[in-house]
A and B are shown apart, each in its own frame.
Chain A
Amino acid sequence: MTRDDIHIEIASDARLLCALRALIKTYVGLQGFPVERADEVVLAVDEACTNAIRHSYGGRPDQAIVLTLRSLSDGIEIVLRDDGTPAPRERLAPRELVPPDPGTVMPGGLGVQIMYRVFDEVTFEPGEGTGNRVTMRLKRPPVRDAM
């Protein structure tokens, strides 16, 4: 096991999300990803945290979310854990998003689908009794040869 680069616990308070985004953006940039990719990663991790706050913890702001970031040989891995209500598996399946008729359909579960689109690999592990764990991996872009 390599050591995590960053291991933090944050409260499930939506007010803190902006601070977390700044951290993720800096970390992903440091790992050699271009700015556009870093922006997508920030969004997808934000969506994962939002789901933990809204669904796992039902909006309670005083619960714990644990986030670890680490560098792999070919990319990065971000793991998010909570101790809330396990997500129902049907919410976590990848699906094709079709533009809805906005007059009748409300988008739901958008965050999960954004996570699938941004990362190369997303694994949801809802706990048996409590808790959720989601592992997100992204390959590093190929390094260009110096001219």
Chain B
Amino acid sequence: MPLQIDKENSSDRYVVSVHGEVDLYSSPELREVLTGNLPSGVGSVCVDLSGVPYMDSSGVATLVEGLRAAKAASVTFVVVAPSAQVRKVLELSRLDSVFEIRDAL
């Protein structure tokens, strides 16, 4: 099923809220947003995953690409409110320590 991705730019924060399951089929959609141009002047990208019940390794790879893109633009990249399943896949990928993870926006 396709994802729903809402983008909101408030003060210096760019909030990307993802709704749906992120897998091989849907991750390109998220990749497009996370590696696309950032709104000018933002200091951080917050990827709100509270609406993501499931993510596979292609989703994890997509988050890593987003992190790289943010770093290249000297912008902080934050993963917000991952579900237990998303935390698990980050952990199994040994990438949980690579991301700044927050419980809420």
Contacts and interface: CB of A to CB of B under 8 A. Distances in A.
The answer to whether A and B come from one shared complex is yes
A39 interface: yes
B95 to A, nearest CB: 6
Contacts of B71: 102-103
Chain A interface size band reads 20 to 34
Interface string B82-94: 0011001100111
Contacts of B97: 99
Nearest to A21: B54
Contact of A107 (B1, B88, B93): B93
B92 A99 contact: no
Nearest to A54: B24
Given A50-B24, A54-B24, A106 B64 contact: yes
Interface in B65-85: 65, 67-68, 71, 84-85
Contacts, number: 77
A47 B93 contact: no
Interface string A103-117: 100110011011001
A113 B61 CA distance: 14
Interface in B2-39: 21, 23-25
A136 interface: no
Nearest to B72: A103
Interface of B: 1, 21, 23-25, 54, 56-58, 60-61, 64-65, 67-68, 71, 84-85, 88-89, 92-95, 97-98
Interface of A: 14-15, 17-18, 21, 36, 39-40, 42-43, 46-47, 50, 53-54, 97-100, 102-103, 106-107, 110-111, 113-114, 117-118
